[in-house]
Chains A and B, each alone.
Chain A
Amino acid sequence: EPEVTQTPSHQVTQMGQEVILRCVPISNHLYFYWYRQILGQKVEFLVSFYNNEISEKSEIFDDQFSVERPDGSNFTLKIRSTKLEDSAMYFCASSEAAGQAEQFFGPGTRLTVL
């Protein structure tokens, strides 16, 4: 069964460093998302991406964040200068269509900022 994959599973970084989280969405999916979940809290939407453009972003997704689809398979989330409060589990998701189609989530990358 096709699945969304994410690497690395755990990333530890120093405050102020740049990190890139990687995702490989399901191959025929066209819509891509990043969500995050701070430990013990709810899953929060960060950004949606379609046709090489951001479709929607939340207030969390400030100038420190960027997304990119550098090739036909990868979808990345970059955090330019990490803060302690960026420590969270980051989930990538993809869907075949827009309009509330099922979003398939990856297993997540746990980001720890020291």
Chain B
Amino acid sequence: QQQVKQSPQSLIVQKGGISIINCAYENTAFDYFPWYQQFPGKGPALLIAIRPDVSEKKEGRFTISFNKSAKQFSLHIMDSQPGDSATYFCAASRVGTDKLIFGTGTRLQVFP
């Protein structure tokens, strides 16, 4: 119930392509869904976040799509660049807590 399942574990994309990472959850009390980006040797950094009252949020090349009925959300990176190569974590939390439940992470490699 508390888990967030993330796939794929790793992803290789060519420069200019679209990277898609998927997450699914069980707990319907979750109402905040951030995505974090982590470069080697650094801590996770917030990339973009969404709440379930919208189905999509876009910031630059990064878009979150949210499907409340399916309890799934995904990160789309358009025009992927080598500088996007990092590990991406989806996360979730519910009202009344700041505790983030993280997915298992996706290692993205973008090749020129």
Contacts and interface: CB of A to CB of B under 8 A. Distances in A.
Contacts, number: 54
B43 interface: yes
Interface in A17-51: 31, 33, 35, 41-45, 48
A58 interface: yes
Contacts of A91: 43-44
Interface in B33-91: 34, 36, 41-46, 49, 89
Nearest to B44: A105
Contacts of B43: 4, 91, 93, 105-108
Contacts of B103: 42
B29 interface: no
A112 interface: no
Nearest to B99: A45
Interface in B1-51: 32, 34, 36, 41-46, 49
User: What is the size category of the interface that chain B forms with chain A?
Assistant: 20 to 34
Interface stretch (A63-71, A73-81, A94-102): A94-102
Contacts of A103: 46, 98, 100
Given A107-B42, A107-B43, A31 B105 contact: no
Interface of A: 4, 31, 33, 35, 41-45, 48, 55-56, 58, 91, 93, 95, 98-108
Given A41-B104, A58-B99, A105-B36, 9 more contacts: A42-B89, A42-B103, A56-B97, A56-B99, A93-B43, A101-B98, A103-B98, A105-B45, A107-B43
- 5 smallest A-B Cβ distances: which pairs? A105-B43, A43-B102, A100-B32, A42-B104, A45-B99
